[in-house]
Chain A
Amino acid sequence: MDRLRGLWLQCRALWRRDEAERALRDELRDHVEREVEAGVARGLSRDQAHRRALLQFGGVERFREETRDARGLNLLEESCRDLRHGWRLLARRPTFAVAVILTLALGIGANTAVFSAVYAVLLQPSPFQDPDRLVMVWETDRGSGTRHEPASWPDVVDFRDRSRTLSAIGSVAGADITLTGGGEPERVPALYVTPNLLALLGVQPLAGRLFRADEGTIGDARVVGASVAIVGEGFWRSHYRADAGIVGRTITVDGRPTTVVGVAPRSADLGIRQVHQRADYASTFIGDHVGLWLAVRPTADAFPRETHPFLTLGRLAPDATLASAQDELGAIGADLERQYQVNKNRGVNLESYGEVTFGSVRPPLVLLLGAVTLLLLVTCANVASLLLARTATRAREVALRRALGAGPGRLGRQFLAESLLLVTLGSAAGVGLAYIGLEALITLAPPDVPRLDMAALNGPVLAHAAGLAALVAFAFGLLPAFQARGLELQQMLKASGAGRLAASRGARRVRRALVVSEVAAAVMLVVGAGVLVRTLWRLQGVDPGFDASRVLKIQLQLPANRYPVLFSRFPDAPEIAGFDARLLQAVRAIPGVDSAALAVNSPLESGSTNSFAIVGREQESAGHPEIRTRALTPGYLETLAVPLLEGRNVNAGDDADAAPVVLINQAAAGRYFPDGTAVGRQIRFWGITRRIVGVIGNEKFRGVDAPTDPAVYAPMAQSPSQQLTLLLRTASADPTSAVGGVRQAVRGIDPQIALYGVEPLQAAASASIARPRLNARLMTLFALLAVLLALVGVHGVLSYMVAERAPELGLRMALGASRAAVMRSVLSDGLWLASAGVGIGLAGALAGSHLLTAFVFGVSRTDPATFIAVPLAVLATVAAASLPPALRATRVDPVKVLRAE
């Protein structure tokens, strides 16, 4: 208790320095006065007494200093002195300082950049209330084997009314809408949501309010209620200059006046994109953030039980768990299956919303975090061995200071101050590097990583960096201090004049261990990078089934009110057919356009699926999974260089009046007509029987790493669509040169139509493997850095050892050892270190290879080629790094060395 009080007093004295000084002065003055009075009492004159008192007291300053010392004040001043001393030492050896600072900057910079991404994506607080209680309600289809289907509206209503484990349930569907009324028509990323959805998530509006339960359109374009919208934050800022006055105003959505009731924060759409990706099929949602939230109150009339457009979210009731909710909804689903013919084979699949949102990005982020941690380890090992070597060369100074009475604590403080200085400078440089690295990371990363755009060097990230720095500084500061303990003056004075001390066995062993661990960590990184790079090569080597080079992709959305698809006259839609024909004619006339075609989906989009039946094999067809349904115009196969394998292509004659025809892909032909009799057979989907006229090659529309599903391609004229993808093959290597012409052509036909998704198909194709490419690139970068650092480490340790062994080597050569033998001994030392490192690294890589499971394609995660090639390469480079010190060893002059002894 008393000790604590004492400590507290000491701290307070340090903190409130003036107060303590004043108290001390008062106390001393009091003392002198008493001494004077005592002298007067003994009969001295006042002057004499005063003089004697001061004399007796001695130097006031000297003892004030001692009192301050007792107070602990000098610790602070000494630290300042230590820092200044450290600075002078560093300035005297700039190469060493720069090496250490750069190394640290790499380690801390890479860590900080990756951590800032991890923090933004995974760690920062959720925008939602109790995010752990949110679940996705998927429907399943045992027939097609799909487990992530959006729900039908009547099913959602049944779930909502019967479930006790879900306290709320709400739905989302992508909205293809165009905003007009302010200059160019614009397609805005939008969502139809049930009025309760944002409240269910627990989102607070930035301005205005959320939807009321009685608001919203019925949802189908033809049945309109009062249209209300909430504006997304990003759109609000870019289009309305963040003016809160937007609330209450009317905007024109798809030609419909729509009242804005509120503004939702940017974070409110967290997970929407991932949900769309997760879905086996879903209405499109394009863009990074929701620009408009539109309230929808669906009806069973507009959305019957056989249509499945609604991505559905639920909130678990307080006493429910994911498992109990799954049981209950599974039972409800089974009831519905018995009750309704259209629900045959249907079930329910619940997933945690967080898992859907972050499930696919967690593994790569954890992998990267692991990689930068290894890199930091290499960095630390490198810096530690640099510092150790330097301490040894400073042995003379250290031993002298110890002999002059500097205690181990004092020396420890000195070393700590020095490494603090180094680490502070290194971390500052590292944070600078992290800033650049983070920018690059955000740019290179695929856009579907949730919240990555929020990554920044913010408080928590900087705190993490500071924590790392403190840890590193502490470790590095103490290491040399421990080493210095072992130094004795006598030993020192016996050492040669080189100012260097033969390091103790312990220190030497520590340095070797550091180098071995550096090599091991580097090998682990290189192996990981190797497997990922091989994966990337495999992915790049996959034939996507089409040629994307020189192809431009442009997407358009025709407004439903002026380009209707009426089921009464299906498939005749003269407005759409007319638009399609005029557009193709106009763009084909653009100079530099070799060919042009329209499709519903670009060859990189998986599009939608539908149930189908092979005429004459209806019984069997009921058990078939749904088939991918796609649509194209004549010219598609030429534009994309998709081969026609059998039969004929569709042509201009296959219009709404002609007999319905269809193309199928090789996957469908092989699966359903293995005997090669596809052409001429009939299949039925969308309620229309179509004759198969041709078989075409497989397009990898589900991504290059996934097998191609069976697909049918109907002519656009016989399956009209308001969603269009225009594909142009250009003569020029840069297909974007045609964009201006297309814009002009579209404006000439209908100025109300917005273009979006304008990009070279090659860019889209390359974006489709953005994630594996980024993984491979980053891992390679970290691995190369680690190898570089490890080489520096090996080189440094060997050089040091050569210098240390110079007398011995000189003696051996004087006694007749050949230069080759000397060189061999140094080289074998280096190779021994490298082999130990490689061995441990390989074992580590093998043990950690399961981390790669989620990332490999076409290669084993323990890819033998990588596991053999990497160690050999690392051994070779390490051998190369030990060559210069080995050569230096042979140049040791025996005479000089012996004389120095």
Chain B
Amino acid sequence: MPPSTPDVLQGTLDLLILKALSVEAMHGWGVAQRIQQVSGDVLQVNQGSLYPALHRLEYRGWIAASWGASENNRRARFYRLTPTGRRRLQAELATWRKFSSAIEMVLAHR
């Protein structure tokens, strides 16, 4: 694993998962791939945190899961966003934007 690749920041994984699922329902591997691709391989989702997070979000009712057939007819567990999850994503996004712009402001300050 290249040392330059940062682990996903603690606490932001939920946000990333919700965002990834807001586009379409997908399985766990797909979520990891999506985050990695979109971030230009910068964000590597540690699988060890991915599945606990997925289950946690499911129990909170933000995402729902069901077994379905994926490409070439393999069984896979598909996750999709629930209405509550969608609202949650909006809230998390707003928080994140505020937070990151605050960091940006601090760093830009001379």
Q: Which residues of A contact B (CB under 8 A)?
A: 1-7, 9-10, 23-24, 26-28, 30-31, 34-35, 38, 56-59, 62-63, 66-67, 69-72
Contacts and interface: CB of A to CB of B under 8 A. Distances in A.
Nearest to A24: B51
B1 A56 contact: yes
B8 interface: no
Interface stretch (B15-23, B60-68, B91-99, B102-110): B60-68
A63 B85 contact: no
A666 B77 CA distance: 100
Contact of B59 (A26, A63, A71): A71
Contacts of B28: 27, 30-31
Contact of B64 (A2, A35, A57, A58): A2
A66 B49 CA distance: 8
B51 A28 contact: yes
Contacts of B49: 63, 66
Contacts of A1: 61, 84
Nearest to B27: A30
A7 B29 CA distance: 25
B52 A67 contact: yes
A30 to B, nearest CB: 5
Nearest to B56: A70
B1 A2 contact: no
A57 B44 CA distance: 11
Contact of A57 (B48, B58, B62, B85): B48
A30 B52 contact: no
A30 B29 contact: yes
Interface in B20-67: 27-29, 33, 46-49, 51-53, 55-56, 58-62, 64
A9 B46 CA distance: 25
Nearest to B47: A57
Contacts of B64: 2, 5
Given A30-B75, A67-B52, A70-B52, A6 B60 contact: yes
Interface of B: 1, 27-29, 33, 46-49, 51-53, 55-56, 58-62, 64, 74-77, 82-85
A123 B29 CA distance: 62
Given A35-B29, A67-B55, 8 more contacts: A2-B62, A2-B64, A6-B61, A24-B51, A30-B76, A30-B77, A63-B47, A66-B52
Contacts of A5: 61, 64
A10 B61 CA distance: 10
B24 to A, nearest CB: 17
A429 to B, nearest CB: 40
* Main SS at interface, chain B: helix
Nearest to B83: A2
A675 B29 CA distance: 116
B106 to A, nearest CB: 29
Chain A to chain B: the 10 pairs with minimum beta-carbon distance, closest first:
A2-B61, A6-B61, A2-B84, A63-B48, A3-B61, A66-B52, A70-B56, A34-B29, A2-B82, A6-B59
Contacts of A10: 59
Max chain A CB contacts within 10 Å: which of B46, B56, B82, B83?
Answer: B56
A6 B84 CA distance: 11
A31 B29 contact: yes
B84 A66 contact: no
A7 B56 CA distance: 11
Max chain B CB contacts within 10 Å: which of A2, A28, A31, A69?
Answer: A2
B64 to A, nearest CB: 7
Nearest to B32: A31
A9 B58 contact: yes
A2 B59 contact: no
A63 B83 contact: no
Given A3-B84, A31-B29, A70-B56, A23 B61 contact: no
B59 A7 contact: yes
B1 to A, nearest CB: 7
Contact of A58 (B46, B82, B84, B85): B46
A247 to B, nearest CB: 64
Contacts of B60: 3, 6
A63 B56 CA distance: 13
B13 to A, nearest CB: 12
Max chain B CB contacts within 10 Å: which of A1, A10, A56, A70?
Answer: A70
Max chain B CB contacts within 10 Å: which of A4, A28, A58, A66?
Answer: A66
Contacts of A71: 55, 59
A549 to B, nearest CB: 79
A365 B59 CA distance: 50
Contacts of A34: 29
B30 to A, nearest CB: 8
A597 B67 CA distance: 96
A59 B46 CA distance: 11
Contacts of B74: 30
A58 B61 contact: no
Contacts of B83: 2
Contacts of B61: 1-7
Contacts of A35: 29
Contacts of B59: 6-7, 9-10, 70-72
Contacts of B77: 23, 26-27, 30
A429 B62 CA distance: 48
A67 B57 CA distance: 11
A694 to B, nearest CB: 95
B48 A62 contact: yes
7 contacts: A1-B61, A2-B82, A5-B64, A6-B61, A24-B51, A66-B52, A70-B55
A31 B28 CA distance: 7
A67 B55 CA distance: 7
A23 B77 CA distance: 9
A58 B27 contact: no
Contacts of B85: 2
A58 B49 CA distance: 10
B58 A6 contact: yes
Given A30-B77, A70-B56, A59 B51 contact: no
A57 to B, nearest CB: 5
Given A1-B84, A58-B46, A27 B62 contact: no
Contacts of A58: 46-48
A66 B48 contact: yes
Contacts of A67: 51-52, 55
Contacts of A66: 48-49, 51-52
Contact of A69 (B27, B48, B52, B82): B52
Nearest to A38: B33
Contacts of B48: 57-59, 62-63, 66
Contacts of A31: 27-29, 47, 51
Contacts of B84: 1-3
Contacts of A26: 75, 77
A391 to B, nearest CB: 33
Contacts of B56: 70
A6 B33 CA distance: 26
A9 B56 CA distance: 11
Given A2-B64, A10-B59, A58-B47, A63 B1 contact: no
A34 B77 CA distance: 13
A4 B84 CA distance: 11
A458 B1 CA distance: 67
A6 B55 CA distance: 10
A1 B60 CA distance: 10
Nearest to B30: A34
Contacts of A30: 27-29, 74-77
A63 B53 CA distance: 11
A63 B28 CA distance: 14
A71 B29 CA distance: 20
Contacts of B62: 2, 6
Nearest to B29: A34
A59 B29 CA distance: 17
A594 to B, nearest CB: 89
Contacts of B47: 31, 56-58, 63
Contacts of B52: 63, 66-67, 69-70
